[in-house]
Every structure is written in C-alpha cells, then in structure tokens.
C-alpha cells in the first residue's frame, strides 16, 4: 500500500482522487450508515433536546469560567499529586513531554488515543529525540503500522477494510493473512501486552478534566487507556485547555452524550477517572502523573463570542458521521488532524485560512452537523463566518483573514449589485446578452468541468412576461 | 512571563468581554423512578448485551457459586485481595478448592510478568452498579488494586443486588463523589472490546476477554 501525505492546500485534488476510489467510498459509506442508525436508535428513549441543551449549557458554563476553572483544576491536581504544565503551542507541549521523558531516561513510550498529541505531531517529535512512541488503541496501532494518520477522530482506521488490515498486519508483524477479526485482535493484544510491560512512560489524552476534584476522565472500550495510565511508572496526560468542566456532576451528561453520539453505545466498556499517582500504601498505578494543558490557538478562538462555540466540542465525531461530504471523500482528504465539519471550523484557527482556504467552502451547508451536535455547536453558521473571514468580510480575527479576497471578484459583485439595482441598465444589458448568446465561451473554469455552459435566453423572462401581458390585453 | 501567565491573561483579557455562566437543569439525568426489580432487569439486560455473563446467587452461598464458576472456566490461578469481605470470604471458602490463590495486594513491580502471563482470573468487589447503562462501579484500593480488574483474561465482579442505582448521575450525587475521589474510580460495562477492524465487534482486546458478574441477593428478596 502506498503511503501518501495529505495537505489541506490540495483539498480539491485529494477530493477528486478520493471520489474516484471505490474502495474508500465503500468503506466510509458502510461505516457512516451504520453509525447514523446506531446513534438514532440509542437516543430513542431519551429527551434528546433536553440532554443536548444541558450538554451545551455545561460546556458554555465551563467556558464562561475558563480562566478560574483552569486555576482550580491546577490547584486540585497539585493537591492530589498531579504535576501541571502549560504550553502555548504544540511545539512547547512536545518539548515539555520530551523533557519529562528524558528526566526518566525513557526510551519507550506507549500511547493511548489522544487527538491533541496528533495535533502537535508528538510521535514525530519524540522519535526525533530517540524515544519510540507506540500507539496502543487498535485503530491507531494499525494506522501507525501503515505509516498513516487517523482518518476519523473516534475510529482512526475506518478507511481500511478487513482485507487491507490483514495485509498490513501480515507485512509488518508477520501474522497470517486472514479475514478472522478475532485472530487479528488476539495477535495485536499479544504484541501490545509486551509493550505495555516494557514502556517507561504512558501518554494519554483526556476527555473531561474536572476542576472541582482535580480528576482526569478517559473514555474507552479497549482497556488500552487503562493500561497506558496504570502500567508504566509515569503517566503524562495531554489535553486542550477547553476540556475542563466545573463540577463532577457535569460529567455524567457529557459522557451520556459522547458515547451515544460517537458510536451509538449506551456506555463504553471503561470510564476511567484518575485523581492522582499511586499513594504510598497502593500497589499499582504510576509513581508520577503529569497533566499538560495545551493552548495551541484555543485562546484566540476564545476571544470572539461567535467563534467561542467551537470550543464546546467534546470530540464525538457525530458531525463527520452525518456529513455528506466527509462520507464521500473520507477523512484523509481534508489533510488536517481533525477532519469533517469540526475540522473545517477548528483547523483554520490552528493553521490559518491561507493553508485551509478550501475547507470552510467544502460544505453544502445542509445543516446535518449542526442538528446532531451533542453540544449544539452551530457548525453551518461558523462555516459561513469563516467564509466571510476568508474574503475579508468578517471581523478579521482569524489568522489569514482576507486571504481569498480577489479584487476582480469584489469588482464583479459590486458591478452586479449596481446593475441589479438599476432596472433600465439591467434590461438593456439582458437584451444585449441575448443577442450575443452565440458568442458565449464553451469553457468557464470549474463550472463547466461537470456542467454544460449556461447560455442567456434569446429573450429575457422579463421581456417574455411583458409580451405575454400585452397579448392578453389585446385579445 | 510564563506560558501559564500568558494563557491565563489572554483568557482574562477577552476581546468580547466577560461571559455570564448559565444555570444548568440536570433533571433529564435523574428521577427515573425504577423499582428494585426493574433496576435489576435493566442492569442485567444492558450488561449482557455487551457480552458480560450475569449469574445470580445468594448472600449466604455465593462462594459456592464462585467455586462453580472457577471450575467451569478452568481457572487455575485466581488473583484477589485479603481484607475486603469479598476476597476474605472467597479465600476462606476456596482453601479446599484446587485453584491457586494469588495475592493481588503486592507491589506490581514484584510480580508484573507473573500477573500478565500466569493469572487466569481476577476477583473484585464492586461499589455498586448503574441500571441505565449496565455498568459496575469500582474504587480500587490497596487490597484490591487497579490491575486486578484489567490484566487477567477473566474478571469476576461481585455485586450486591441492592446496590444497583438508576443512573451514573444518581451514583455521583448519592455517594457525594465530589467530596473526595480515590486515586482511580472506574465504571466497567462488559469485557474489553474493539470495533476498529471494519466495525466488526471483537472482545478481549487489551483487557479481560470475559466479565462474570455474580449478583448476590439477600434471602428475602430472592
């Protein structure tokens, strides 16, 4: 299998390639159809509106108190024996984590799933320092074996089917070629158990960080998260600053929304709540626990009342599962850590609109993402906002604002505006266009790639109606 | 200025001004109003749907049921604590049984490979359970450490029927978890599983392959 790198700059080319790949389209179509129906079923006996309202409200409350809650989280974590570190960007977070590893002379790191660590390219950074970082979530492990990045934030290997996975495992780990999923799962279990025992450091993400008690909550099915946070002598948790919630009682509603929205499960196998390192009388668990709080653009999003809603996200992936664009082009096409609708409203802040110029417009604004979002993020409105920012018609507070502004486009719209508000000139222009219709060019850039050339009518509708009325009057 | 100070300052000097925190209405999370029998049925239905095995037994004779499970599952080495009544009673009852009883309350460094490679099952008590989602809740202790419910391929959890509550929210509130959390608190809902290979469900990926829940009933309630 060839290893390809993706970039948001090449979105259109990548989308074109993905649309022409029947394997990719079949894998995503099948998976997303299943996820949509499972989500619908699992919420059937809930007052979903009330639950989403509560979810949005809890996240909004946390954001309203964000600076105080971060300080409270830090104080309570420290009181529990968890050391807290702050990073303004991904590079600083990578450096902090590398130094923590080096302080323990660590050579081998085992990782639980963490999208923030993907966002800051932690594995590459650690490998550059001679520290091996191995993913332990089965999907992440497969993607890493295949030298790829995740194509979905919850199901990282969703772009691969059973045969492809069998081939990857055979190539990289020497297992038999098979369609037996239990055999492949057991093989990965055996391979990774050795690595859990040998790892010097475990690195995980965080789903919710509770300010009130200094507790880090992790949601998972496999048990690799519990292994990562319990077996190695050091546990480093890394998370975005927006993941904090105020109270412990805020956690059950968000957890209820997360698992049901993500995979249609009532609950995951494990909900792991960590409030400190091993105590002197305890017999297992890490000796050290660290929490790395990463900003990486989040405090910029935080400045603006409308953009703020982006930070309510609990990373369930429901928006991508329900997105007609994501389902057809797959996760890699976006070329960003977070794909799909949430990626389209988040990545422009992290990478700038110059890099991500095609993302906010890669949407039909059908509204499905906003309808299913468990914390009611108005994703379509935010897409429109980012489109405005990219052509310089917004508030100018997104990096790269105005990058898509072209003088010719601005002039064209200004001209149209003038024409359309001057009826006399408009009618003459339409009459002339009708006369010149034979001169219409046959190729009009992107428009004619998939469509026939539009041709002005010989007589405008306006003129036709006028004539019709005249004839009616005379008869 | 430190990164911490810079981040906090940026958040405090917010361009669009201070935000007003909204009040929250949690009523959708509580007040299910289920009876004892309904809670029990829901718990059993949900945890069974994710592959856990539920076995009903009585307070007075639960260790006999445990012995039967160990025999049926061909468990040769069982890890468990000493002090909690669950492992204490199990130890007292099993000393005639052929199973080897492995001390779980030892520093893991002394027996990591032994635990990973030679222990067939781990026995633990539970704090209670949640009917709505079919979940057990556990607060591991020095006597019953964290890995006992994770590393061995079979986890046997002992649950008292009357400790099943309606929702996770109810548990957090009723037991005042916010007043003091242990090093590690866990919800466990079934054996370890994955659907990462083309959404095909497979059990026993990193944690236990099997979860057996022994539900103990008081004499009068059965």
Same structural domain, A286 and A425: no
Please say whether the dihedral angle defined by the alpha carbons of residues A134, A113, A210 and A303, taken in this order, is positive or negative.
positive
Find the domain containing B161 and state its range: 34-221
Task: Determine contact: B1 vs chain A, CB below 8 A.
Answer: no
Calculate mean pLDDT across residues A444-461: 84
What is the Cα B187 distance to its own chain's centre? 5
Distance from CA of B97 to the nearest CA of A (A): 27
Band (A415; pLDDT cuts 50, 70, 90): very high
Helix, strand and coil percent figures for chain A, each rounded to 5: 55, 10, 35
Asked if the structure places residue A371 within a domain, the reply is no
The residue among A46, A48, A114 whose CA lies nearest residue A376 is A48
Same domain, A129 and A263: yes
Q: What is the rounded average pLDDT of the residues A218-246?
A: 98
**Structural domain includes residue B13:** no
Say if residues A54 and A253 touch (Cβ distance below 8 Å). Answer: yes
Interchain pair A281, B142: CB under 8 A: yes
Q: Please identify, among A266, A296, A326, the residue that sits at the C-terminal boundary of a domain.
A: A296
Count the residues in chain B.
Answer: 222
pLDDT tens-digit profile of A303-333?
999 999 999 999 999 999 999 999 999 999 9
Size of interface A-B (CB pairs under 8 A): 255
Which residues in chain A are closer than 8 Å to B16, comparing Cβ atoms?
303-305, 308
Domain residues for the domain of A217 are 46-296
Q: What pLDDT was estimated at residue A187?
A: 96
Query: Could you give the CA distance from residue B105 to residue B148 in angstroms, rounded to a whole number?
Result: 9
Is A29 a domain residue?
no
Q: Does B219 touch chain A (CB under 8 A)?
A: no
User: How far is the C-alpha of A213 from the C-alpha of B74, rounded, in Å?
Assistant: 42
Q: Closest Cα of chain A to B67: distance in Å?
A: 26
pLDDT band at A172 (very low <50, low <70, confident <90, very high): very high
Read off the CATH number of the domain in which B170 is found.
3.40.50.10420
Q: Which residues of A touch B29 (CB under 8 A)?
A: 54, 252-253, 256
Specify the DSSP class assigned to residue A367.
Answer: -
| B22 within some domain | no
Spatial separation of the C-alpha atoms in residues A404 and A418, rounded to whole Å: 23
Q: What is the mean pLDDT of residues A200-210?
A: 98
> Mean of the pLDDT values across residues B24-34?
97
Residue A375 lies in a domain: no
Label residue B220 by pLDDT band (50, 70, 90). Answer: low
Kindly state whether residue B172 falls inside one of the protein's structural domains.
yes
- Decide if B209 is inside a domain: yes
Domain-terminating residue out of A296, A314, A335: A296
Computed over every residue of chain B, the mean pLDDT equals 96
Over residues B136-179, the pLDDT tens digits come to 999 999 999 999 999 999 999 999 999 999 999 999 999 999 99
Task: State pLDDT tens for residues B56-108.
Answer: 999 999 999 999 999 999 999 999 999 999 999 999 999 889 999 999 999 99
Instruction: Specify the number of domains making up chain B.
Output: 1
Does B217 reside within a domain? yes
* Residue A346 CB neighbours (<10 A): 23
Out of A234, A266, A296, a domain closes at: A296
Q: Is residue B17 part of a domain?
A: no
Interface contact B193, partner A, CB < 8 A: yes
Comparing alpha-carbon positions, the chain B residue that sits nearest to A52 is B28
* β-pairing verdict for B135-138 and A215-220: unpaired
pLDDT of amino acid A438: 83
CATH code, A119: 3.40.50.10420
Domain count for chain A, please give it: 2
Give per-residue pLDDT as tens, A356-379: 999 999 999 999 999 999 999 999
Shortest distance between the Cα of A41 and any Cα of chain B, in A, equals 14
| Confidence bin at B221 (pLDDT 50/70/90) | very low
In a domain, B21, yes or no: no
Identify which of A34, A283, A284 has the shortest CB distance to residue B199: A34
pTM: 0.95
């Amino acid at each position: 299998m060839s290893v390809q790198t993706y970039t948001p700059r090449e979105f259109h080319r990548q989308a074109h390639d993905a649309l022409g790949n029947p394997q990719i389209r079949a894998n995503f179509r099948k998976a997303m159809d299943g996820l949509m129906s499972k989500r619908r079923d699992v919420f059937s006996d809930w007052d979903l509106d009330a639950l989403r309202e509560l979810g949005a409200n809890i996240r909004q409350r946390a954001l309203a108190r964000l600076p105080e809650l971060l300080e409270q989280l830090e104080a309570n974590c420290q009181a529990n024996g968890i050391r807290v570190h702050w990073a303004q960007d991904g590079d600083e977070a990578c450096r902090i984590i590398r130094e923590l590893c080096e302080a323990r002379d660590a050579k081998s790191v085992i990782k639980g799933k963490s999208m923030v660590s993907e966002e800051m390219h932690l594995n590459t950074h650690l490998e550059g320092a001679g520290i091996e970082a191995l993913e332990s979530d089965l999907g992440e492990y497969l993607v890493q074996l295949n030298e790829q990045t995740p194509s979905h934030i919850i199901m990282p290997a969703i772009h691969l089917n059973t045969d492809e996975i069998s081939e990857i495992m055979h190539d990289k780990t020497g297992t038999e070629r098979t369609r037996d999923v239990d055999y492949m799962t057991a093989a990965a279990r055996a391979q990774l158990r050795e690595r859990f025992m040998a790892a010097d450091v475990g690195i995980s993400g965080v789903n919710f960080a509770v300010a009130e008690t200094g507790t880090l909550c992790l949601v998972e099915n496999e048990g690799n998260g519990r292994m990562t946070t319990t077996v190695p002598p050091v546990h480093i948790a890394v998370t975005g600053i927006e993941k904090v919630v105020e109270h412990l009682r805020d956690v059950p509603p968000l957890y209820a929304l997360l698992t049901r929205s993500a995979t249609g499960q009532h609950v995951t196998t494990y909900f792991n709540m960590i409030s400190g390192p091993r105590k002197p009388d305890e017999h297992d668990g890490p000796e050290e626990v660290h929490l790395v709080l990463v900003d990486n653009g989040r405090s910029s999003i935080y400045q603006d009342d409308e953009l703020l809603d982006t930070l309510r996200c609990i990373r369930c992936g429901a928006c991508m599962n329900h997105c007609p664009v994501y389902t057809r082009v797959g996760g890699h096409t976006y070329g960003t850590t977070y794909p799909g609708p949430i990626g389209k409203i988040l990545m422009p802040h992290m990478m700038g609109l110059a890099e991500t110029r095609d993302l906010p417009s890669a949407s039909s604004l059908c509204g499905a993402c906003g309808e299913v979002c468990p914390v009611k993020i108005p994703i379509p409105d935010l897409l429109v906002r980012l489109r405005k920012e990219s052509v310089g018609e917004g508030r100018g507070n997104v990096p790269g604002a105005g990058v898509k502004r072209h003088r010719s486009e601005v002039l064209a719209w200004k001209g149209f505006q003038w024409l359309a508000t001057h009826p006399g000139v408009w009618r003459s222009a339409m009459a002339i266009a009708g006369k010149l219709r034979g001169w219409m060019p046959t190729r009009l850039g992107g428009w004619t790639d998939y469509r026939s050339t539009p041709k002005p009518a010989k007589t405008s509708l306006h003129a036709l109606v006028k004539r019709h009325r005249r004839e009616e009057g005379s008869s | 200025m430190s990164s911490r100070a810079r981040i906090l300052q940026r958040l405090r000097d917010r361009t669009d001004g201070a935000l007003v925190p909204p009040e929250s209405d949690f009523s959708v999370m509580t007040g299910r109003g289920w009876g004892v029998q309904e809670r029990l049925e829901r718990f059993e239905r949900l945890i069974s749907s994710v592959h856990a095995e539920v076995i009903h037994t009585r307070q007075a004779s639960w260790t006999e049921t445990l012995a039967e499970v160990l025999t049926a599952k061909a468990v040769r080495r069982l890890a468990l604590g000493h002090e909690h009544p669950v492992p204490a009673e199990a130890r007292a009852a099993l000393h005639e049984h052929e199973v080897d009883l492995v001390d779980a309350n030892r520093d893991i460094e002394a027996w990591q490979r032994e635990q990973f490679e030679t222990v067939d099952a781990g026995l633990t008590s539970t704090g209670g359970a949640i009917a709505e989602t079919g979940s057990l809740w556990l607060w591991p202790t020095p006597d019953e450490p964290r890995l006992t419910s994770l590393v061995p391929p079979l986890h046997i959890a002992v649950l008292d029927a009357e400790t099943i509550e309606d929702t996770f929210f109810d548990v957090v509130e009723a037991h005042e978890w916010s007043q003091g959390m242990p090093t590690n608190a866990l919800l466990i809902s079934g054996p370890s599983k994955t659907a990462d290979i083309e959404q095909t469900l497979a059990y026993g990926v990193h944690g236990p392959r099997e979860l057996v829940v022994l539900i103990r009933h008081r004499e009068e309630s059965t």
